[in-house]
Copies of this chain bind each other. A is one copy, B any other.
Amino acid sequence: MRPQIALFGDSITEQSFRSGGWGAALADTYTRKADIVNRGYSGYNTRWALFLLHQLFPFDSTKPPVAATIFFGANDAALLGRTSERQHVPIEEYKENLRKVVHHLKECSPTMLVVLITPPPVDEVGRRDYAQSVYGEKAMELPERTNEVTGLYAKQCVELAKEMGLCSIDLWSKMQETGGWQKKFLSDGLHLTPEGNAVVHEEVVKVFNQLWLSAAEMPDDFPSHSEIDGKNPEKAFQQLCI
C-alpha cells in the first residue's frame, strides 16, 4: 500500500541508518507516507553495481519504487596505483554506468523519480590521518583519493543528470560552500558525520519536494488518532473505502 523509495549506493548509503544517518532521517520524514529501503553496498563502484540491478529492481516487479537515489562515485574515483585502485573505474565508464543504472530503473518503471547524488568532497588530510590510525607506519603516504579527481567525477554525474533531464544533488560542491567542511561533514575524510548526513537529508528532501514527492502533501496511510471517534471508530475507517 505504501510507496517505496529506494536508496541505491555505496557505503555512504549502507551506513545511512546509523545514528544521525540520512536514510533514517528520510524514513522519519516519510513516516506513514513511504517506506525507505536501503540498497547501499559498502565499497561498491558503478561497475559492480550493474551486477545487482536485475535482482534489486526486477522488470517484472508489481510494485517498483516510486523514487530512487543513485549515490555512487566515491569508490569509482579511487586512484590507480594507490591502495584502493581495485575500486577505480575510469571516469567515462563511471558516467556510462550511471546512465545504465538510470535506464534500468526507468525501464523498471517509467514514472520512477530518479535523483543522482555526486560523491561528497574528499578531505585528503582526514584520509591520511585515518589511514595512519588504522595501519600505523604502514599507511601509504600518497592519498588513495583526491578531492580534485573526485570533483571531476561529481561533474560528470551532474552533467549526466542534465543530459537525461533528471534532478541531481551536487554534494561535492554543496559541502565545500561551508567553512571547515573537512571536519564538520566528514568523519574520516570520506564518510559522513551526523552534520554531513543532515546535509544529504536536507538536499534529498528539497529535491523530492520539487518533484512533487513532498511528505507534507502525501496522505498518512490511515486516519490520525485524533480523527477517530472513541465510541464509533468504524466510521473513521469506513471512510477510507469510499
Contacts and interface: CB of A to CB of B under 8 A. Distances in A.
Interface centre among A1, A48, A226 (most CB of B within 10 A): A48
A43 B230 CA distance: 12
A40 B222 CA distance: 11
A226 B28 contact: no
Nearest to A10: B225
Nearest to A85: B230
A27 B32 contact: no
Contacts of A42: 224-225
B17 A31 contact: yes
A25 interface: yes
Contacts of A43: 224-226
A137 B170 CA distance: 50
A212 interface: no
A108 interface: no
Interface string A10-43: 0000110111110111011001100101101111
A86 interface: yes
A51 interface: yes
A226 B75 CA distance: 13
A47 interface: yes
A52 interface: yes
> Interface size for chain A: under 10, 10 to 19, 20 to 34, or 35 or more residues?
35 or more
Closest 10 CB pairs of A and B: A43-B225, A24-B24, A86-B230, A51-B237, A17-B27, A17-B28, A17-B24, A18-B28, A35-B37, A48-B233
A122 B24 CA distance: 27
A38 B44 contact: no
A87 interface: yes
Contacts of A75: 225
Contact of A1 (B19, B23, B56, B194): B56
A125 interface: no
A32 B38 CA distance: 8
Given A24-B27, A41-B225, A87-B225, A233 B51 contact: yes
Contacts of A40: 31-32
A228 interface: yes
Interface centre among A25, A40, A51, A234 (most CB of B within 10 A): A51
Given A35-B37, A43-B224, 13 more contacts: A1-B56, A17-B25, A17-B27, A17-B28, A17-B31, A19-B19, A21-B24, A21-B28, A23-B27, A24-B27, A35-B38, A51-B222, A51-B237
